[in-house]
């Protein structure tokens, strides 16, 4: 009898734990849709690629376009900008990247970046001709004072990383597809 009682208890314990575990899994499965609905929805994701024509941008100027609700900075860099960027030794960079890594080969004059400061997400100034470009001729974030250079690399201030590069490619010399 005694051994029967133990089998009984272990059986009960097992059923108890198994039921509890199933209940927990079931609850988690039921809760997941309630959480996942907060993620970007299909309409937001559907807007995920755009094509931008570069033909109207003049050398030295920049344009801003919207992609996924974020500003995209496109700058037609001057030969000076590029030379200045290439001259920077890697050791001086907080988030090391060569000028070549920031652009598409053969299209070095075009710098395409997400215009969002990698610190806490403000939009840096430097797109319009008169606006502050910071100490390194690129962009300046007014929120907590981050300076980016002519390759969009972080040079000074609290931002940890260079301006992020979106996925994009050249469809022709004057047309890019972002996303």
Partner 1 sequence: MSGHSSYNPTNPVAKWLDSRLPIMRFSKEHLMDFPTPKNLNYWWTFGAILAFMLVVQIATGIVLAMSYTPDAALAFDSVENIRRNVNYGRIIQATHAVGASMFFVAVYVHIGRGLYYGSYKEPREVLWILGVLIFVLMMATAFMGYVLPWGQMSFWAATVITNIFSAIPIIGDPLLQLLRGGFAVDNPTLKRFFSLHYLLPFVIAAVVALHIWALHVPGNNNPVGVEVKSSHDTVPFHPYITMKDLLAIVLFLIPFAWFVFFAPDILGHPDNYKPANPLITPAHIVPEWYFLPFYAILRAIDFDMWFISAKLGGVIFFGGSILVLFFVPWLDGSKTRSGTFRPLFKPFYWLFIFNFFLLTYLGAQLAVEPYSTLSKISTAYYFGYFLIILPIVSRIETPNPLPASISESVLGKGGS
Q: How far is the CB of 73 from ligand FES (least distance, A)?
A: 14
For residues 138, 104, 83, 114, the Cα torsion angle rounded to the nearest 10 degrees is 10
Nearest of 24, 138, 159 to residue 88 by alpha carbon: 138
Contact 129, 107 (CB under 8 A): no
Interface residues toward ligand FES, by CB under 6 A: 117, 119-122, 141, 143-146, 157-159
Catalytic residue among 12, 94, 128, 144: 144
> Does the annotation mark 147 as catalytic?
no
Q: Which is nearer to ligand FES, 108 or 126 (CB)?
A: 126
What's the min distance (Å) between Cβ of 13 and partner 1? 33
* Tokens at 74, concatenated: 């496109």
Contacted by 116, from partner 1, ligand FES, none: CB < 5 to 8 Å by type:
partner 1
Number of residues written out for the chain: 179
Q: CB under 5 to 8 A by kind: which of partner 1, ligand FES, none does 64 bind?
A: partner 1
DSSP 26-45: HHHHHHHHHHHTTS--HHHH
Calculate the CA dihedral of residues 114, 170, 88, 60 and round it to 10 degrees. -80
Closer residue to partner 1, CB minimum distance, 82 or 143: 143
Residues at the site binding partner 1, with contacts judged by CB under 8 A: 35, 38-41, 44, 64, 66, 68-71, 116, 119-124, 141-145, 157-160
For residue 146, the minimal CB distance to ligand FES (Å) is 4
Cα separation of 34 and 20, whole Å?
Answer: 22
| Catalytic residue set | 144
């Amino acid at each position: 009898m005694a051994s029967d009682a133990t089998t009984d208890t272990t059986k009960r314990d097992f059923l108890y734990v198994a039921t509890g575990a199933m209940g927990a899994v079931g609850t988690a499965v039921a809760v997941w849709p309630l959480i996942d609905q907060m993620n970007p929805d299909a309409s937001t994701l559907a807007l995920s690629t755009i094509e931008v024509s570069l033909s109207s941008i003049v050398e030295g100027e920049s344009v801003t376009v919207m992609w996924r609700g974020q500003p995209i900075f496109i700058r037609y860099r001057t030969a000076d900008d590029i030379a200045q960027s290439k001259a920077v030794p890697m050791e001086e960079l907080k988030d090391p990247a060569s000028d070549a890594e920031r652009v598409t080969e053969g299209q070095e004059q075009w710098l395409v970046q997400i215009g969002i400061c990698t610190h806490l997400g403000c939009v840096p100034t430097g797109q319009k001709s008169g606006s502050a470009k910071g100490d390194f001729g690129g962009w300046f974030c007014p929120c907590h004072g981050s300076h980016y250079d002519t390759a969009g690399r972080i040079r000074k201030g609290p931002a940890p990383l260079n301006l992020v590069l979106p996925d994009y490619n050249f469809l022709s010399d004057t047309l890019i597809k972002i996303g």
